[in-house]
Structure 1
Amino acid sequence: MNTYLPDVALTETSAALIPLDWVGMQGIQLPLLMDEPGQKYPLLAQADVQVDLADPSVKGIHMSRLYRLLDGFAEHQPVLPHTLYALLEAMVVSHADCLSSSARLQLRFDLPCRRPALVTAGLSGWKAYPVQVDAVWQGGRLQLDVAVDVTYSSTCPCSAALSRHLLEAAFRRRFVGHSAVDPEQVAVWLREHGSYATPHSQRSVARVQVRLPEQAASLHLMELIDLTEQALGTPVQTSVKRADEQAFARLNGQNLMYVEDAARKIQHALQDRFAASSVSVQHLESLHPHDAVASTSNYLI
């Protein structure tokens, strides 16, 4: 039915004959089939997709070809390295008449995961992890980077020390002159007076990105999330009871960290597992109206 419809991409040329690095679409909404350990279900994503336009005499690429390939992929294929390879290769083949040799795809979505409470048996809740997948196909090779945002709690070591200093001073004032103190007296005093807040104790976010090996069988998203949360020790919780809240307070006290500490902890946990990784952390400070940030990377330039 399109035989008699005009197609200026074929009948006209551009005023400036210049090849283009990338041409395509962004913000395409589509459902994706995930295939992660314990995470096999569809979810809503946004996609950006482009190919290079190497032939300067071609006025425009075939957007509909890219869309149809992406739509078919989303409907029938799980998101895995080998399926992404096949999709991007097909996009390049579909634009042979444009002399295209490269294609790229970016996917953005939230990965839902049910997490158990710290101590209450049978209690759990959902947490969503923002994910970004960047795939580039060129010359028969796939470069695949995945990134996740992990939210955690951070308590400043200096603030904790200042809080402890206040507690120590108050204790000394109360029991000055006592050569011996009854443990029960101390327990009562601590219960009534032994609580000073730490001014730097806040929700924080780590952006973690790794490059997957070409032979990777999956996106390793849950592994990346688990490694990051284990390194930090204080991931935010979902459903809690008082016992879980108390356990979380203990975890924060045992894992005091500057923003520098957080970045180093994560990168140290990743460096033996992934050849290339980058970490960017942001502490949304409770003391200041600004944030503390740190980043590190071992990507080869």
Structure 2
Amino acid sequence: MNLSLPDVSLTERAVTLSPLQWVGMQGIDLPVTLSEPGYHREVHARVDAQVDLPSPLIKGIHMSRLYRLLDELAEGRALSPNTLKTLLQAMVESHRDCESRSARLRFSFDLLARRSALVSVGLAGWKAYPVTLEASLNGGELQLQLTATVGYSSTCPCSAALARQLIEHGFVSDFGHLTAVEPVAVAAWIRQYATLATPHSQRSEATVRVDLAADAADLGLFRLIDGIEQAVKTPVQTAVKRADEQAFAALNGQNLMFVEDAARRIQAALAQGFSNPHIHVRHLESLHPHDAAAWAVPGQ
């Protein structure tokens, strides 16, 4: 039936004859399957798909061909380096008549993971990690980049020191005239006045991009996310009881950090086992109306 329909991409020339680096689609809704060690789930992704258009004589590519190839991916084939390379090769092959030689893909999705409470046995909740996966094929060479964002809590070391000083002054004001103080009296004072001042803390986030090996068995999603969470030590929690909240308060107190500290912790944690990590951390300040931020880039 299509034989009788006009196809101006074949019968007409572009008004301006020039090559284009990338042509394709953005924001395609697609169910994709993630299969990592201990994890197998379908997620909703937004996908960008493009090929190059090096010939100035060709008016346009065939976007429906790209869409159909993506639609085949939605039939349950798990995302992996090998799956992505096969798809990119098919994208290039589908546009041989357009002289295309390169292709690229970008997947954006939330990795939904169930996380256990810090203390309460059997208590858990769901947490979403924003993830971006970029794949390109140039000259037959596959390049992969994975970006993940992890939320955590950060307590300011400076604010903590200032709060401790005020508590110290309060204690001296009440007990400084005594040569000895009973432990039970100290405990009672702490219970009532230890919050004379409290350090400020805030929800924070780390966004990390790494390169993936073309021959990797999987995407390493949890390896990256777990590495970031273990580095900062205070990932935000889902389901909590009071015991879990207390444990979280202890973690924050034992892991005071400036934005610089967080960036350096993550950088050190990912130095082994991850290729070319680019780190961006933000502390969404509770003291200021602006954020504190730091970047760590390999070789700089």
Give 1:154's aligned amino acid: S
Is residue 2:107 matched to residue 1:102?
no
1:293 — aligned with what?
A: 293
2:79 — aligned with what?
A: 79
The number of equivalent residue pairs is 300
1:42 — aligned with what?
A: 42
Residue correspondence of structure 1 range 1-301 to structure 2 within 5 A: 1-298=1-298
Q: Supply the distance in 2 between the matched residues of 1:188 and 1:73 (Cα, whole angstroms).
A: 64
Q: Report % sequence identity.
A: 59
Q: Supply the distance in 1 between the matched residues of 2:273 and 2:171 (Cα, whole angstroms).
A: 47
The answer (yes or no) to whether the contact 1:276–1:299 under 8 Å persists in 2 is no
Give 1:83's aligned amino acid: T
SS at match of 2:110: strand
Give 1:288's aligned amino acid: H
CA separation of 1:197 and 1:27: change in aligned 2, threshold 3 A: farther
Q: Supply the distance in 2 between the matched residues of 1:196 and 1:253 (Cα, whole angstroms).
A: 16
SS at match of 2:151: strand
Q: CA deviation at 1:197?
A: 4.5
The answer (yes or no) to whether the contact 1:232–1:262 under 8 Å persists in 2 is yes
Per-residue CA shift, 1:33-63, capped at 9, x if unaligned? 1111222011111000000001110000010
SS at match of 1:69: helix
Q: CA deviation at 1:176?
A: 1.1
Q: Supply the distance in 2 between the matched residues of 1:230 and 1:22 (Cα, whole angstroms).
A: 39
Q: Supply the distance in 1 between the matched residues of 2:110 and 2:119 (Cα, whole angstroms).
A: 26
Q: Supply the distance in 1 between the matched residues of 2:55 and 2:26 (Cα, whole angstroms).
A: 22
SS at match of 1:48: strand
Structure 2 length normalisation: TM-score?
0.98
The answer (yes or no) to whether the contact 1:155–1:198 under 8 Å persists in 2 is no
CA separation of 1:18 and 1:298: change in aligned 2, threshold 3 A: same
Q: Supply the distance in 2 between the matched residues of 1:157 and 1:196 (Cα, whole angstroms).
A: 17
Q: Supply the distance in 2 between the matched residues of 1:53 and 1:117 (Cα, whole angstroms).
A: 51
CA separation of 1:198 and 1:192: change in aligned 2, threshold 3 A: closer
* Segments ≥4 residues shifted beyond 4 Å: none
Give 1:258's aligned amino acid: F
Structure 2 alignment gaps of length 5 or more? none
Q: Supply the distance in 1 between the matched residues of 2:45 and 2:197 (Cα, whole angstroms).
A: 41
